[in-house]
Chains A and B, each alone.
Chain A
């Protein structure tokens, strides 16, 4: 897989505020990357750097082999961008707006209609954008980002304002693009939503990259405990301490339910003993650490490093 985006040791500050510090990362063809961080962590600044809208103080940025800030636009032809709060001129219709952007990208205008259908705006295409709801504007924003089969898609908080059905169709579109070999960068702070959607997660905090890897890699680095929830048979509620006591951290949620945080290497032995015939367990749930917990963990260790 060839690299479509390279960011090497980039630092960027606005006045006294350091937006990015010595940040490096690489995105490849056919890869969906989640860029995760708090508001103000530097996600949008990184995306603007990739678009050439701001210039880095030091370090190099390459998008599709070009320096985006150098004032050449060949790479932007193959770039799709959806800003965080996408807005359009209110006076024009959805179709007119998309036609304008298609012209700028030299995309055949015939694709405008089908693209509007694809994002579910076929009905509203000839209404003024001013009459659109937030979700519809977001869809129009997605439509313009998809113009002309982009090789690199930069989506800044793409699913805010989308209803669940549309969210699903949005991720279907992302999956199609990935299959097509496009690099998709999704920035978000809604992490749980990205589970299973992103091949790789890059976590930034205060302008620094604090984690980078697949979700499985991050899990194994973080060594977060798996949460095991057991429901006990009524009669044996008292005797449970005997067998569960050795597993360490646990807490009682109510009379029948226990929650045990199992370290990765203790997990199997715990499950074995919970499943053994003499254990007073009638139900059992295993909840792996969510992305949110993983994220919180990396944020906390990132802070601790300073």
Chain B
């Protein structure tokens, strides 16, 4: 356990030093603040709580940005260190390979969690300071949105490690990471939508649709955040969410599985690899 923490703290130290933490936090903060104040301008005063509006816009932002940031950090983690030769030295120390991966994971996740909480938290704080009335339920929804965003980040960090442990060159890892991002964030949804339109509900039942939604972590995240009652009305996701019948705990479990399976895979592949 101590080894994991040593590796994790070094990752955080490096992240601070090469300004990954700063850049990520500022990016998320700037976008979050922009969305909060510009995004609510056209809606004017709708019945919804202003924080709920922010949750909808920030969730959409998360779906695009957090997987991208996570993959950017993670795709280099193993193959990059191998190419630079630092992994050779690290593994000559009394530290297990699984400890290296877990340590990196915790470190990278801490960076993501810090950036997300601070970036999105700033938006909420700014909103509260303008004097908008926000009820407790909205705050809870906001907090769970941040937590699930970090969880979505964890999913893609884990996927990034799996990619990084499988390939021989950094360039390949980068290419695959971009491919994964495109697939999960853009292509999958378009293909799913096209499929549903073509099918017209003849063969694809609710159960199958659920499976398809759970098969993509970003869709799982979307259901989790945009499907809840007060927010769902705004996002237009209620109909899907109501039909899906997937409970939040089932969705969280799916995201956890999406984290643990690639992480275990990365550990296994990395443990077998010869340097």
Contact B274 A91 (CB under 8 A): no
Cβ–Cβ contact A104 & B85, under 8 A: no
Are B89's CB and A103's CB within 8 A? no
For A91, the chain B residues whose CB sits under 8 A away are 14, 17-18
Residue A92 CB within 8 A of the other chain = yes
- Interfacial chain A residues near B6, Cβ < 8 Å: 100, 103-104
Contact present for A92 and B96 (CB under 8 Å): no
Q: State the Cβ distance, B90 to closest chain A Cβ, in Å.
A: 8
**Contact, CB under 8 Å: B275 / A73:** no
Q: Which of A76, A87, A104 contacts B84 (CB 8 A)?
A: A87
Task: Known contacts A91-B14, A92-B17, A100-B6; decide if A83 and B89 are in contact (CB<8 Å).
Answer: yes
Instruction: Evaluate whether A89 and B14 lie within 8 angstroms (CB atoms) in the complex, with A76-B93, A105-B94 already known.
Output: yes
Neighbour of B85 across the interface among A54, A87, A144, CB < 8 A: A87
- Whether B92 sits at the interface, judged by CB under 8 Å, is yes
- Give Cα distance in the complex from A48 to B13, angstroms: 29
Chain B residue nearest to A71 in the complex (CB): B96
**Is B86 in contact with A89, judged by CB distance below 8 angstroms?**
yes
Cβ contact within 8 Å between A96 and B84: no
B88, A83: Cβ atoms under 8 Å?
A: yes
B85 pairs with A92, CB closer than 8 A:
no
- A-chain residues with CB within 8 Å of residue B275 when the two chains form the complex: 48, 53-54
**Binary CB contact string for chain B from 56 to 86 against chain A (1 if under 8 A, 0 otherwise):** 0000000000000000000000000000111
A151 at the interface (CB under 8 A from B): no
Task: Decide if B3 is an interface residue (CB 8 Å cutoff).
Answer: yes
Chain A nearest CB, measured from B94 CB (Å): 3
Q: Which residue of A lies closest to B16 (CB)?
A: A91
Tell me whether B91 is interfacial, beta carbon within 8 Å. yes
Decide if A73 touches B95 in the complex (CB within 8 Å).
yes
Does A290 belong to the interface (CB within 8 Å)?
Answer: no
| CB neighbours of A83 from chain B (8 A) | 85, 88-89, 92
| A53-B94 contact in complex given A86-B89, A91-B18, C-beta closer than 8 Å | no
Query: Does chain A have a CB within 8 A of B10?
Result: yes
| Shortest distance between the CB of A267 and any CB in chain B (Å) | 46
Distance of A76 Cα from B86 Cα, bound (Å): 17
B89 in complex: contacting residue of A54, A55, A144, CB < 8 Å = A144
Alpha-carbon separation in the docked complex, A105 to B91 (Å):
12
Q: In the complex, A62 Cα to B256 Cα: how many Å?
A: 41
In angstroms, Cα B90 to Cα A35, docked, is 23
Q: Per-position contact with B for A159-186: 1 when CB-CB < 8 Å, else 0?
A: 0000000000000000000000000000
Given the complex of chains A and B, what is the CA–CA distance between A73 and B88 in angstroms?
A: 15
- With both chains docked as a complex, state the minimum distance between the C-beta of B100 and any C-beta of chain A, in angstroms: 10
**Partner pick for A54 among B13, B90, B93, B274, CB 8 A cutoff:** B274
Q: Tell whether A243 is near chain B: CB-to-CB under 8 Å.
A: no
Which residues of B are found within 8 Å of A88, using beta-carbon distances? 86, 89
What 1/0 mask marks residues of chain B from 2 to 13 whose CB sits below 8 Å from any chain A CB? 010010001001
Q: Considering the chains assembled together, what is the distance between the CA atoms of A48 and B84 in angstroms?
A: 17
Q: Which residues of B contact A273 (CB under 8 A)?
A: none
User: Chain B's nearest CB lies how many Å from the CB of A109?
Assistant: 12
Compute how far the CA of A85 lies from the CA of B89 in the bound complex, rounded to whole angstroms: 10
**Is A92 in contact with B274, judged by CB distance below 8 angstroms?**
no
Q: Does A81 contact B (CB under 8 A)?
A: yes
Chain A residues engaging chain B, CB cutoff 8 angstroms: 14, 48, 51, 53-55, 71, 73-74, 76-77, 79, 81, 83, 85-89, 91-92, 96, 100-101, 103-106, 141, 144
Q: Known contacts A92-B10, A101-B93; can you find 16 more A-B pairs with CB under 8 A?
A: A48-B275, A51-B92, A53-B91, A54-B275, A73-B94, A73-B95, A83-B88, A87-B89, A88-B89, A89-B86, A91-B17, A91-B18, A104-B93, A106-B94, A141-B89, A144-B89
Which residues of chain B have a CB within 8 Å of any CB of chain A?
Answer: 3, 6, 10, 13-14, 17-18, 84-86, 88-96, 274-275
The 5 closest A-B CB pairs, nearest first, are A73-B94, A81-B92, A91-B17, A76-B94, A87-B85
